[in-house]
Amino acid sequence: MSPKLFSNLSAVVYYEYGSPDVLQLEEIETPVPADDEILIKIEAASVNSGDWHILRADPFMIRAVSGPLKPKHRILGTDVSGRVEAVGSSVSRFHIGDEVFGDVSRCGFGAFAEYVCVPEKEAIILKPDSLTFEQAAAVPSAAVTALQALRNKGHIEPGQNVLINGASGGVGSYAVQLAKSFGAEVTGVCSTGKVDMVSSLGADHIIDYTKEDFSQNGLQYDLIHAANGYHSISQYKGSLKPNGT
């Protein structure tokens, strides 16, 4: 696909680590897909805590991956949804016009732009018709993190008592819904203003952390998902059943 078919695109770029003040809106060349890549016209992208950490190189060890002195990838953004605008010669999974969404972090990030090229074998899939582009773009990082924590690491089982600390955040809100789908009895921890929202996600019990500290109420759980980790490991252990996770 010839790059002449596309004009230059706008992207949010950065050349040094720091606060959001280092971000700039610039015109850059529209990427051209390689033989095994698709070009996505981005309709929506979500902002995650990972983007914040990479922007600031905080914690410092992030520099080992993103660049020791300055970022090696100019455009942030992991979660994306949009339409396939062009395909490489060897692409078979996708076609022009397909609506897709996924995570572009393993191929250089780049969701905070108008277009991004992604290998077809990366974490990109067709978008269900039931999801808007905005809804789909909010799924990859947060939902997969929650799923990995509960299923892959927590080995959640039906009937377990599960506590989600940070139940109203991006990861936590998915964790509440996923835990319920696995058949658990779910307690969500959130602030006063988010109680109704967490309840609407299906939480069986809600603890308002502005009024009560779950680590001090004597209740214990089979599994704790610390999406908001503002407690010590010893405090979490105190709220776990003897074989809890």
pLDDT per position as a tens digit, 23-65: 999 999 999 999 999 999 999 999 998 999 999 999 999 999 8
pLDDT surpasses 80 at 177: yes
pLDDT band at 7, cuts 50/70/90? Answer: low
Q: Write down the mean pLDDT value for the chain.
A: 94
**pLDDT at res. 8:** 74
pLDDT surpasses 70 at 4: no
pLDDT band at 122, cuts 50/70/90? Answer: confident
pLDDT band at 9, cuts 50/70/90? Answer: confident
Written out in words, the top-level CATH class of the domain with range 141-238 is alpha beta
* Mean predicted confidence (pLDDT) in 143-169: 97
* Mean predicted confidence (pLDDT) in 73-94: 96
Instruction: Tell how strand 115-119 and strand 124-126 pair up.
Output: unpaired
Domain ranges of the chain: 3-138, 141-238
**Structurally, what CATH architecture does the domain formed by 3-138 represent?**
Alpha-Beta Complex (3.90)
Q: What is the pTM of this model?
A: 0.87
Percentages (nearest 5) of helix, strand, coil residues in the chain: 30, 25, 45
Share of the chain above pLDDT 70, in %: 97
Copy the structure tokens of residue 41.
């016209």
> Does residue 224 sit in helix, strand or coil?
strand
- Nearest to 213, CA basis, from 230, 200, 199: 230
- Convert the pLDDT of each residue in 182-228 to its tens digit: 999 999 999 999 999 999 999 999 999 999 999 999 999 999 999 87
pLDDT band at 3, cuts 50/70/90? Answer: very low
Apex CA 136: angle with CA 175 and CA 157, to 5°?
25
